[in-house]
Amino acid sequence: RWGRGSGWPRSGGIRGGAAMDLFGDLRRMNKRQLYYQVLNFAMIVSSALMIWKGLIVVTGSESPIVVVLSGSMEPAFHRGDLLFLTNFHDDPIRAGEIVVFKVEGRDIPIVHRVIKVHEKGNGNIKFLTKGDNNEVDDRGLYKEGQNWLEKKDVVGRARGFLPYVGMVTIIMNDYPKFKYALLAVMGAYVLLKRES
């Protein structure tokens, strides 16, 4: 026998599976409830996008939060650390700063330390980077014929970090099926969650 409204057997029964429960919940919802849940889900997604766009404006960086994907900056940062970036164009780039930069021909930005700064008389600044855990500078990573980075290459400068919080992102990139399953579960939870 089933308990009233609980969806669980009162005694000795076995639950029929998560997928069956999901479809059962969807069937029991009337149209108004379903529209309400879809609207809730849309509001959560749009709120997240607005927060992200707000962070871009406040920090001046096109990617205000990034995940460290390699061990090239150990011991300063480890794989999976979450970095918070700013990119105010008035701030001069200094040797010793940790910057995130993009290189033409590479999709993923790189997090490394500025080791040399070369300032020309006209105010143009060029600089060289290197990973703390690497033996050589980054000239081998730059596009062919490029020996220095410029301010236009900088995505942001590291201002703070949370250790290992970004491991979830790395796992989702390494195992795409896990990512889609997690997104499906989160979407189903938001759609099926009822106000109490």
Instruction: Tell whether 97 and 140 lie within a shared domain.
Output: yes
Quote the pTM value.
0.69
Q: Are residues 123 and 183 in the same domain?
A: no
Question: What Å distances lie between residue 143 and 97, 106, 190, CA to CA?
Answer: 22, 9, 45
Domain contains 76: yes
In a domain, 7, yes or no: no
Which pLDDT tens digit goes with each residue over 55-113? 999 999 988 999 999 999 999 999 999 999 999 988 888 999 999 999 988 888 999 99
Catalytic residue check, 112: yes
Q: Which residues pair with 116 in a beta bridge?
A: 128
In the set 112, 137, 153, 174, the catalytic residue is 112
Q: Does residue 72 carry a catalytic annotation? A: yes
Catalytic residue among 6, 46, 70, 72: 72
What's the confidence (pLDDT) of residue 126? 93
Q: Which of 61, 81, 138, 153 is catalytic?
A: 138
* Residues spanned by the domain of 180: 164-195
Domain count, the chain: 3
* CB half-sphere exposure, 20, CA atoms < 13 A: 6
